Amino acid sequence: LDLDSFVFEIDVDALSERNLPKFSPLLKFPSIRRDLAVIVEETVKGGELIDFIVKIGGNLLTDAFIFDIYKGEHLEHGKKSVALAMTLRHAEKTLEDAEINSVVEKVVSGLAEEYQAVLRN
pLDDT, tens digit (0-9, with 9 covering 90-100), for 56-72: 999 999 999 999 999 98
User: How many helical (H) and strand (E) elements, i.e. helices and strands, does the chain have?
Assistant: 3, 4
Q: How many residues does the chain have?
A: 121
pLDDT computed for residue 1 by the predictor:
62
Q: Measure the CA angle with vertex 94, ends 92 and 96; round to 5°.
A: 130
pTM: 0.76
